[in-house]
Amino acid sequence: MLSGAGLALLLLWATITIPSLGQACLCTSLPPTGLRVNCTSRDLAALPPLPSDTTELLMQDNGLTTVPSGLFDGLAGLQRVSLSGNLFHCDCGIEYLRNWLLRNKAVVSQEPTCSSPTSVAQKAISELTDDYFTQCALRGCYSSTYVIVMGLLLCCLVVLLVWSLRLAKNCTFTLHIEQNHPVLHADSFSPLRGRHARMLSVSADRHLCTEDLERSPVNMELLPQVLDVLHKKHNIKIKVI
């Protein structure tokens, strides 16, 4: 049996306040090696540093909006956690708490719920599906450096495209149609075959290409109109020799 003085000392030791937690939370020793951290209704906006031997954490009715990733990972002895009555904002930052709650359902005395955004308000955090956090995974793939580099590459691509369009618009193509067959009349083009095929000489800037083409008869009355359209709209000049 403990004397009155011994019992008083034991009670005093069992209800000390740990300086690292400040004056907001009350820490009570739980035999044989446990520790209860009671921060109930302290108007806290964030969780304080927790001792590694914490077995009970009472954080209900505060102003918590999230739980930092990895906060509970070092507390292997947790047997009871109460986080209800807080103002949890269920965005990408709440995914860690959701996953922890799913793995430790037996430890949680009362399920914490989302306070915002309105689409999931009053919904239990552990009930948020994997699809709800899909956008978070996509967002994590694109770091700020990646976005900057891709933006610069896109700008360079646009500049090259504009430059190519302007260059193509300012280019002049001249087609020289040379007539070598002695029987061929100037008023029509007849099909040519073999050695007598019409020669088409295409020069673009300083490049010259020559190839044999087989052509169907062309109505010479329409040829001037065709040449005019090619010249005005496509900047292509055709010269018949």
pLDDT in tens, the chain (241 residues): 444 444 343 433 444 444 445 457 899 998 888 999 999 999 999 988 899 999 999 999 999 999 999 999 989 899 999 999 999 999 999 999 999 999 999 999 899 999 999 999 999 999 999 999 988 866 555 556 666 877 888 888 888 888 887 777 666 655 555 545 444 444 444 444 444 434 434 444 444 444 444 455 555 667 777 777 777 776 676 665 5
Structure tokens at 26: 């009350």
Identify residue 188 by its one-letter amino acid code: S
144: which DSSP letter?
A: H
How many whole angstroms separate alpha carbon 77 and alpha carbon 54?
7
Structure tokens at 157: 């691509």
Considering the entire predicted model, what is its pTM? Answer: 0.52
Put the strands of the sheet holding 26-30 in their side by side order.
26-30, 34-38, 54-58, 80-82, 108-110
> Homologous superfamily of 12-141 in CATH?
Ribonuclease Inhibitor (3.80.10.10)
pLDDT of residue 75: 92
CATH 3.80.10.10 in the chain: give the residue spans. 12-141
Say if CB 10 and CB 31 are below 8 A apart. no
pLDDT of residue 210: 42
For residue 34, give every residue at least 6 positions away whose Cβ sits within 8 Å of its Cβ, in sequence order, or none. 53, 54, 55, 56, 77, 79
pLDDT of residue 48: 87
Closest CA to 114 of 61, 62, 66, 57: 66
Structure tokens at 206: 């300083």
pLDDT of residue 190: 45
Strands (E), the chain: 26-30, 34-38, 54-58, 80-82, 88-89, 108-110, 114-116, 173-178, 198-204, 207-213, 236-240
Structure tokens at 70: 């990895």
pLDDT of residue 174: 58
88: which DSSP letter?
A: E
How many whole angstroms separate alpha carbon 86 and alpha carbon 24?
16
